[in-house]
Amino acid sequence: MNKRILLLTPVPSHPATAGNRARVFKLASLIRALGHDLHFAHVQWEMGDDEAMQACWGAAHYHVLPYERPERFLFRVRRKVGNTLKSELRYQLGVDDWYDGAIDAWLRQLHARYAFDAVLVEYVFLSRALCNFPDDVIRLIDTHDVMANRHRLYTRNGEHYNWFSTTRRGERKGLRRADVVIAIQDLENRYFADLTGRHTVTIGHAVDLHPISSPGTHAANLLFIGSANQANLDAIEFFLKEAFPKVLAKCANARVLIAGPVTRKLDDYWSDSVISLGVPDELVSCYTQADVVINPVRVGTGLKIKNIEALGFGKALVTTSIGAEGMEDAVGRAFLVANDADGLSAAVIALLSDSARRTAIEKAGLAYATEWNQRQVNVLKSVLRDRA
């Protein structure tokens, strides 16, 4: 039976300039494609294109919820103590520290008007929103990432961390507000199931399938697309400094094309062989120029959305073991994996210099993305059909 479903998200669906935005857009689109009556509620934690979102989701089904980040007294105390003692307290937030309590009244009004059958919240730091709905409403959380001690992925390498990170206890508290916890890959599925005892499913990022042929020029174009987060900046700087010179030694005409908000932090790298595509409104024009897509990510959790997206465009992909998490069954068949500068450059050179091998990887990647999509749709259909 079709349901009336509210999707509550702190990130917009338009423009899709980052992986988490693409994730939200595709998940909402799949819910609607399954025949459910989708209401899209954007908590304006991060601003987007309201006109485009209203046109996409419908004026009567698009809801804007103002947001103001609260100033939590305990958070300020923890941060001050943590900075003084140089301890993890300076990074660890309470699971509700970013939650604006003013959202509650909006949600209760929406439910009184529309009587939702299910509510899907994006990210654990919005989980308190689920407390506004009665027990007969199916409550779901789309996690995106493991947020418990997420800062450690960066601080253990000496990097500063400035996004959301909480404790295992905080993450457990937030996720247990849901009937169903959605992980983006199987490793995190097992972690969330053990942590919460809740019904946990894996729904990866489904992608549009529209293969694009290689440019067919004499250039050998590598494409990197990324938001301006620390993982993306570390990845592309590592590749440009350590791996790309090795590629140029064998393929003098190679170029790295970079797109997305990460371009705003790379002013020192632009040259004839490292080119900014800026922050495009759409990604097709970027992929049209690419012979090989690279994602040399070295830190991070979750599914690397740009990887499965590249396969959906029918592009040969080179990534790392961390980048391949959640898609390990396709390593070496649908894309290539290497973890150091020598391995990454060798994989790129092999694909640029052997068009037959590149074509075979492209076809296998597209076939994998096709089968991958169906798996995600089947799980989503089951979750929305049955009460956990």
**Bigger pLDDT: 179 vs 217:** 179
Same domain (yes/no): 252, 194: no
Domain that holds residue 275: 220-372
**Bigger pLDDT: 205 vs 249:** 249
Q: For the full predicted model, state whether its pTM sits above 0.85.
A: no
Percent of the chain with pLDDT over 90: 74
Same domain (yes/no): 229, 85: no
Same domain (yes/no): 247, 169: no
Q: Is residue 388 predicted with pLDDT exceeding 50?
A: no
| Helix, strand, coil fractions of the chain, as percent rounded to 5 | 45, 15, 40
Q: Is residue 272 predicted with pLDDT exceeding 90?
A: yes
pLDDT tens-digit series, residues 149-179 = 988 887 877 777 788 999 999 999 999 999 9
Residue after which a domain boundary falls, among 203, 237, 267 = 203
Q: Does some domain include residue 230?
A: yes
Query: Can you spell out the DSSP letters for 191-216?
Result: HHHHHH-SEEEE--------------
Indicate the pLDDT class of residue 305, thresholds 50, 70 and 90.
confident
Q: Is residue 76 predicted with pLDDT exceeding 70?
A: no
Same domain (yes/no): 54, 199: yes
Same domain (yes/no): 34, 166: yes
Indicate the pLDDT class of residue 229, thresholds 50, 70 and 90.
confident
Calculate mean pLDDT across residues 44-59: 95
pLDDT confidence of residue 161: 78
Percent of the chain with pLDDT over 70: 93
Same domain (yes/no): 177, 255: no
Residue after which a domain boundary falls, among 171, 203, 235 = 203
Q: Does some domain include residue 344?
A: yes
pLDDT confidence of residue 9: 98
Q: Is residue 303 predicted with pLDDT exceeding 70?
A: no
Q: Does some domain include residue 109?
A: yes
Domain count within the chain: 2
| Amino acid at residue number 294 | I
Indicate the pLDDT class of residue 83, thresholds 50, 70 and 90.
low
**Bigger pLDDT: 250 vs 300:** 250
What single-letter DSSP state applies at residue 331?
A: B
**Both structure tokens of 383:** 């979750």
Same domain (yes/no): 241, 180: no
Q: Does some domain include residue 385?
A: no
Q: Does some domain include residue 292?
A: yes
Same domain (yes/no): 183, 280: no
Q: Write down the residue that tokens 């050998």 correspond to.
A: 220
Q: Does some domain include residue 210?
A: no
Q: What is the CA radius of gyration of the chain?
A: 21
Q: What rounded mean pLDDT belongs to the chain?
A: 91
Which CATH number covers residue 24? 3.40.50.11930
Identify the burial level of 385 via C-beta atoms within 10 angstroms of its C-beta, where 0-12 means exposed, 13-18 middle and 19 or more buried. Answer: exposed
pLDDT tens-digit series, residues 307-340 = 999 999 999 999 999 999 888 889 999 999 999 9
Q: Does some domain include residue 252?
A: yes
- Scored b (16 or more CB within 10 A) or e, 327-339 reads beebeeebbbbbe
